[in-house]
Amino acid sequence: MAAEAEYESILCVKPDVSVYRIPPRASNRSVRAADWKLDAPDWTGRMRVTAKGKVAYIKLEDKISGELFAQAPVDQYPGIAVETVSDSSRYFILRIQDDSGRSAFIGIGFEDRGDAFDFNVALQDHFKWVKQDTEFSKQAQAPDLGPKLDLGFKEGQTITLNIGQSKKRDKSRPQSSGGFGLLPPPPSGKIAPPPLATSANHDTEPLTGGSDTGCLLDLDSSNSDTQAQPAAPSANTDLWGDFTSDSLSSEPDKQDSSSTSWVQF
């Protein structure tokens, strides 16, 4: 099977670029563009940055005819193929190569700072893509040693989705006896009357309202044996004074010595 053909794509085009001859490096110190003859470039023309596979190519061409003047293949950036200078962001050092493999270093520069920025970003984006593509290729070739998570449906397994249906609210629970809620009615649907309060003396009618007072008055008037109730004593009167008075002692025949009550009703 024949290998897939690699197509050449254009990354960046700048119509004006200047080329300078630079002296050989005497040491490893950084290169300064001020050491070049910036006012007298050795060549001017057009620059095209292309990519073929993972390699980028910086091509210096004639503005009119498009004839190739020099070419610098770049396999990584930053790297030895393209270097920056220490005193300006508009100038770079290129390592150009011919078809026979010979190489030389030249200086290039842009009149506009924005052109230099575009040139730098075009190279950075290309090699960022190369790095990602390399990582994807390694992941595809490396076997997956970890456990695989099976998220597929088993045979006969289904799933139900309730869309557009409101959730039923929980029924409110009755409050406890300590709260302020009303108790539910009895099963019969009728409200039972409250129980009547019983008196200590079962012969006396319960006092439930103003109308019962008249009944007591009738009983008092019809029963001659019943002794009239004494008037309520004042706060400063001795409650036991009536029982120790001479009026009770003067009638000994009405008291029963065997009875435990002081007054017979």
φ/ψ region of 33 (left if φ > 0, alpha if ψ in -120 to 50, else beta) reads: alpha
In this predicted structure, what is the pLDDT of residue 208?
A: 47
Give residue-wise pLDDT tens across range 107-133.
999 999 999 999 999 999 999 999 998
Residue predicted with more confidence, 25 or 221: 25
The residue written with tokens 């980028």 in the block is 56
- Evaluate if residue 45 carries a pLDDT over 90: yes
Sorted by where each starts, the structural domains of the chain and their CATH numbers stand as: 8-24+33-139 (2.30.29.30)
Kindly tell me if the per-residue pLDDT of 212 is higher than 80. no
At 232, the pLDDT band (50, 70, 90 cuts) reads low
Is pLDDT at 48 greater than 90 in this prediction? yes
Positive or negative, the Cα torsion across 247, 251, 254, 256? positive
> Is pLDDT larger for residue 45 or for residue 145?
45
Query: Which residue, chain included where needed, has tokens 């004042």?
Result: 234
pLDDT value at residue 209 = 46
For the cut 90, the answer to whether the pLDDT of residue 57 exceeds it is yes
Percent of residues, the chain, with pLDDT higher than 90: 37
Task: Give all strands of the β-sheet with 43-52 in edge-to-edge order.
Answer: 68-74, 55-61, 43-52, 8-21, 103-109, 91-97, 82-84
The rounded distance, in Å, linking the Cα atoms of 145 and 147 is 7
Most confident of 24-33, 144-153, 212-221, 238-247: 24-33
Contact between 196 and 206 under an 8 Å Cβ cutoff? The reply is yes
**What digits encode the pLDDT tens for the residues 4-16?**
567 889 999 999 9
Whether the pLDDT of residue 1 is over 60: the answer is no
In the predicted structure, residue 152 carries a pLDDT above the cut 80: no
> With 50 as the cut, is the pLDDT of residue 252 above it?
no
Share of the chain above pLDDT 70, in %: 56
Cα–Cα dist 104/81, whole Å? 10
Tokens of 179: 């709260």
